[in-house]
Amino acid sequence: MKVTSLSSFPDFIPSRRSDFVQLDKNENPFAVPPSPLEEIREAFLKVRMNRYPDPTYKALRESLSDYTGYSCENIVLGNGGDEVLWILFAAFAEPGRPVLTLCPCFSEYDHLCSVFRTEQIRSPLSLSVGRFDLDHKTLLQLAKEHDPSLIMIDSPNNPSGMTIEQDILLELIEQVSCPVIIDEAYGEFAETTILEHFKGSKMPSNLFILKTLSKAWGLAGIRLGYGLCEKDLAHKFNSIRSPFNISVLTEEVARIMLSYREWMESRVYSIKFMRDRFIQSLNALNGWEAFPSSSNFVLVKTSFELPLVKRSMKENQIELKYPELPEYEGTWIRISIGKEEEMRRLLDIISSIGK
C-alpha cells in the first residue's frame, strides 16, 4: 500500500503560529476551566503510566453512558473520530462495492476512500438562494443502484453546516442493509439529532452514530471519539481496533470533563449565539453571504477573489479554511466560531477588503 505523506492529509498544517487567530479547524475556542484542570492534575499524579489501560475501558464507557443515555454495550471508542472512521472502513469497506457520501462532505471520507482504494459515490447538495438542500430521492436512488458497503452522512454537514432532516435519515437507514454512519461530530450545536431520536429505544442494527469530545467539549487535543451502535456492529468494531487504543491519560481527562456537562452546555450556547450574530452581521456586508449553520462554523461565499482574501487574512494573522467546492461558483471560506473579540476583529478585516 502506498504511504500517504502528511502534506496530503486533508487539513494538515506543518506548523501553527500561536500569534495567529485560529479559525480554521472548527475547534472550541474556550480553554478548560480551572476546576477540572485541578482535578486532572491530581488524577495524573495517581495514574500508573507503567501499566496498560483496561482494554474494555469500562469506566470511560460508563461515563459516556451517563452522558448519552445509551447502554455501555452500545458504546465503542476510538483515538479521535478519525480512528473511529478508519476502523469502520477496515471493518466494512468491501472490494468492488463503493462508499456513498454527500457532496460536499467531511474531507476525511474522501481521504479514506483513497487509502482503502474504494470507489466513492457522491449525493450532491443543491445550492439555492440562501441555503443548501439535499435531494433525498437522489440519495435513496444512489443507495439502491450502487449497493454500497458503507454510507457516510455527516449531519451537521461539513462544510455546509446544514443538518440533514431526520425523516430522510430514517428512511435511508430502513431501506438499506449496509452500515449507515451518521457523523454527529457537531451534534451538540444542532437543534435535533439522530442520537436523541433513538435514546431509550432499540437502535437499528445497521446504524452507527459517530461522536467526539473534540468540538463541543473542547478536547481536540486529547483525541477521543466514540460511536453508538447495536451489539453486532460493536462486536465487529472491537474485533478490529487495537486493544489499547485510548491512553490512560486521555481516559482520565475524558472521565473528569464528562462530569462538567453544564460547563460544556454553557460554552455551546455562547458559540451558537456568536455564530448566529456573525451570520447576521456578515450578510449585511456587500459581496458576502453566510449560510445558515447548525454547527460551530459557518460556510461563507464571497464575490472577492480568493488570493485577495487569503492575502488580507495573512496580513492580519487570521487562519481560515478555504474548501475547494468546484460544484459551486464563487470563493468559499469556512470560518470556525471563535471568541467574541476574534469574531469582531474578523468582521472588521472583512469589511475592509476591496476598499
pTM of the model: 0.93
Mean pLDDT, residues 115-124: 97
pLDDT tens digits, one per residue of 100-109: 999 999 999 9
Residues of the chain with CATH 3.40.640.10: 48-259
pLDDT of 7 reads 45
pLDDT tens digits, one per residue of 292-342: 999 999 999 999 999 999 999 999 999 999 999 988 989 999 999 999 999
CATH 3.40.47.10 fits 6-32+262-352, yes or no: no
Q: What percent of the chain has pLDDT over 90?
A: 91
Write down the mean pLDDT value for the chain: 94
Asked if residues 142 and 121 have their Cβ atoms less than 8 Å apart, the reply is: yes
Mean pLDDT, residues 237-244: 96
Residues of the chain with CATH 3.90.1150.10: 6-32+262-352
pLDDT tens digits, one per residue of 165-183: 999 999 999 999 999 999 9
**Among 237, 244, 213, 229, residue whose Cα is nearest residue 56:** 244
Residue 191 scores a pLDDT above 70: yes
Residue 9 scores a pLDDT above 60: no
Rounded to the nearest 10 degrees, how much is the dihedral formed by the CA atoms of 35, 40, 45, 49? 180
pLDDT of 27 reads 97
Phi-psi region of 26 (alpha: psi -120 to 50; beta: other; left: phi over 0): left
Residue 5 scores a pLDDT above 90: no
pLDDT tens digits, one per residue of 21-70: 999 999 999 999 999 999 999 999 999 999 999 999 999 999 999 999 99
CATH number of 48-259: 3.40.640.10
**CA end-to-end span of the chain:** 51
Contacts for 335 with CB less than 8 Å, ≥ 6 apart: 23, 278, 297, 298, 299, 300, 320, 321, 346
pLDDT of 16 reads 56
Mean pLDDT, residues 277-289: 97
pLDDT of 1 reads 40
Residue 355 scores a pLDDT above 90: no
Whole-angstrom distance, CA of residue 130 vs CA of residue 115: 35
Whats the size of the chain, residue-wise?
355
pLDDT of 248 reads 97
Asked if residues 224 and 80 have their Cβ atoms less than 8 Å apart, the reply is: yes
CB-based contacts of 171-176 (< 8 A; 24+ apart in sequence): 171/136, 171/140, 172/136, 172/139, 172/140, 172/143, 173/204, 173/206, 173/207, 174/204, 175/140, 175/143, 175/144, 176/143, 176/148, 176/151, 176/206
